Structure 1
Amino acid sequence: MTEGQGGRHAWIDASAGVAGDMLLGALLDAGASEEAVRSAIDAVAGGGVRLRVREVTRAGLRALKADIEVVDAEPPERHWREVRDLVERAGLPGAVERDAIAVFARLAGAEARVHGIEPDEVHFHEVGALDAIADVVGCCAALADLGIVTVSASPVALGSGSVRSRHGRLPVPAPAVAELARGWQVSGTGDGELATPTGMALLRTLADRCEPLPPMTLEAVGVGAGTRDPAGRANVVRVLVGVDGEHESERLVLLEANVDDLDPRLWPGVLQGLLELGAADAWLTPIVMKKGRPAHTLSVLCRDTLAPTMRERIFRDTSTLGIRHSARGRVALDRSFAEVAVGSGRVSVKLGHRDGVLVQVMPEFEDVAALARREGRPERLVLQEAQAAAAAAGLVVGEPVSRS
Structure 2
Amino acid sequence: MKILYIDCGMGAAGDMLTAALLELLPDPDQFVRKLNALGLPGVEFKKEPSVKCGITGTHISVTVHGEEEESCDHNPDHGTLHAHEHGHDPHEAEHGHHHEHGHHHSGLHDIEHIVREHLPVSEKVKEDVMAVYRLIAEAESQAHGVPVTEIHFHEVGTMDAVADITAVCMLMEEIAPDQVVVSPIHVGSGQVKCAHGILPVPAPATAYILRGVPVYGGSIRGELCTPTGAALLRHFAAKFGDMPVMATQRIGYGMGKKDFEAANCVRVLLGEAADKRDTVAELTCNIDDMTAESIGFAMETLFAAGALEVYTVPVGMKKSRPGVLLCTMCREADKDEMVRLIFKHTTTIGIREQVSNRYTLKRSVETVGTPFGQIRKKVSAGYGTRREKYEYEDLARIARQRGMSIEEVAAQSKAGK
Q: Which residue of 1 aligns with 2:44?
A: 49
Q: Which residue type is aligned with residue 215 of structure 1?
A: V
How much does 1:261 deviate? 4.4
Q: Which residue of 1 aligns with 2:358?
A: 330
- In the alignment, is the contact (CA less than 8 A) between 2:4 and 2:270 conserved in 1? yes
Q: Which residue of 1 aligns with 2:243?
A: 213
**C-alpha separation between the residues in 1 aligned to 2:241 and 2:416?**
38
Q: Which residue of 2 aligns with 1:39?
A: 33
Q: Percent identity?
A: 32
**C-alpha separation between the residues in 2 aligned to 1:118 and 1:341?**
46
2:45 aligned with 1:16: no
Cα separation, partners in 2 of 1:310 and 1:142, compared to 1, 3 Å: closer
Task: Work out which of the residue numbers 302, 315, 323 in structure 1 matches 2:330.
Answer: 302
Task: Work out which of the residue numbers 241, 244, 249 in structure 1 matches 2:270.
Answer: 241
Q: SS where residue 18 of structure 2 aligns?
A: helix
Task: Work out which of the residue numbers 258, 261, 274 in structure 2 matches 1:228.
Answer: 258
Q: Which residue type is aligned with residue 24 of structure 1?
A: T
- In the alignment, is the contact (CA less than 8 A) between 2:189 and 2:222 conserved in 1? yes
**C-alpha separation between the residues in 2 aligned to 1:122 and 1:349?**
41
How much does 1:198 deviate? 1.9
- In the alignment, is the contact (CA less than 8 A) between 2:370 and 2:416 conserved in 1? no
Cα separation, partners in 2 of 1:289 and 1:343, compared to 1, 3 Å: farther
Cα separation, partners in 2 of 1:343 and 1:102, compared to 1, 3 Å: farther
Q: Which residue of 1 aligns with 2:165?
A: 136
Q: Which residue type is aligned with residue 293 of structure 1?
A: R
Q: Which residue of 1 aligns with 2:309?
A: 281
Cα separation, partners in 2 of 1:230 and 1:13, compared to 1, 3 Å: same
**C-alpha separation between the residues in 1 aligned to 2:356 and 2:205?**
36
- In the alignment, is the contact (CA less than 8 A) between 2:131 and 2:305 conserved in 1? no
Q: Which residue of 2 aligns with 1:267?
A: 295
Comparing 313-322 and 272-281, the one that deviates more: 313-322
2:375 aligned with 1:352: no
- In the alignment, is the contact (CA less than 8 A) between 1:177 and 1:197 conserved in 2? yes
Cα separation, partners in 2 of 1:146 and 1:252, compared to 1, 3 Å: closer
How much does 1:51 deviate? 0.8
- In the alignment, is the contact (CA less than 8 A) between 2:111 and 2:158 conserved in 1? no
Q: Which residue type is aligned with residue 414 of structure 2?
A: A
Comparing 291-300 and 61-70, the one that deviates more: 61-70
**C-alpha separation between the residues in 1 aligned to 2:384 and 2:37?**
33
- In the alignment, is the contact (CA less than 8 A) between 1:342 and 1:382 conserved in 2? no
- In the alignment, is the contact (CA less than 8 A) between 2:105 and 2:155 conserved in 1? no
Q: Which residue type is aligned with residue 310 of structure 2?
A: A
Q: Which residue of 2 aligns with 1:3?
A: none
| Structural RMSD (CA) | 4.1
Alignment of 1:69-148 (within 5 A): 69-73=63-67, 77-87=105-115, 88-92=117-121, 96=125, 99-108=128-137, 110-111=139-140, 116-118=146-148, 123-125=152-154, 128-148=157-177
- In the alignment, is the contact (CA less than 8 A) between 1:258 and 1:295 conserved in 2? yes
- In the alignment, is the contact (CA less than 8 A) between 1:32 and 1:145 conserved in 2? no
How much does 1:264 deviate? 5.2
Q: Which residue type is aligned with residue 139 of structure 1?
A: V
**C-alpha separation between the residues in 1 aligned to 2:109 and 2:296?**
23
Q: Which residue type is aligned with residue 132 of structure 1?
A: A
Comparing 121-130 and 321-330, the one that deviates more: 121-130
Q: SS where residue 231 of structure 2 aligns?
A: helix
- In the alignment, is the contact (CA less than 8 A) between 1:157 and 1:195 conserved in 2? yes
Comparing 214-223 and 125-134, the one that deviates more: 125-134
Cα separation, partners in 2 of 1:134 and 1:216, compared to 1, 3 Å: same
Q: Deviations over 1:63-111 (max 9, x none)?
A: 4322334443367544445544555534346655554454345444544
Comparing 280-289 and 41-50, the one that deviates more: 41-50
Q: Which residue type is aligned with residue 254 of structure 1?
A: E
Alignment of 1:304-319 (within 5 A): 304-315=332-343, 317-319=345-347
How much does 1:23 deviate? 1.0
Q: SS where residue 52 of structure 2 aligns?
A: strand
Q: Deviations over 1:243-274 (max 9, x none)?
A: 23332x33333232223445654433433443
Cα separation, partners in 2 of 1:108 and 1:362, compared to 1, 3 Å: farther
Alignment of 1:130-169 (within 5 A): 130-165=159-194, 168-169=197-198
Cα separation, partners in 2 of 1:291 and 1:335, compared to 1, 3 Å: same
- In the alignment, is the contact (CA less than 8 A) between 1:33 and 1:145 conserved in 2? no
Q: Give TM-score scaled by structure 2 length.
A: 0.73
Comparing 126-135 and 199-208, the one that deviates more: 126-135
Q: Give TM-score scaled by structure 1 length.
A: 0.75
Q: Deviations over 1:322-349 (max 9, x none)?
A: 4333342323232222457999998755
How much does 1:393 deviate? 6.6
**C-alpha separation between the residues in 2 aligned to 1:76 and 1:389?**
51
**C-alpha separation between the residues in 2 aligned to 1:347 and 1:57?**
39
**C-alpha separation between the residues in 2 aligned to 1:393 and 1:143?**
30
How much does 1:42 deviate? 0.8
- In the alignment, is the contact (CA less than 8 A) between 1:43 and 1:90 conserved in 2? no
Give unmatched runs, 5+ long, in structure 1.
1-6, 395-404
2:385 aligned with 1:391: no
2:179 aligned with 1:185: no
How much does 1:223 deviate? 2.1
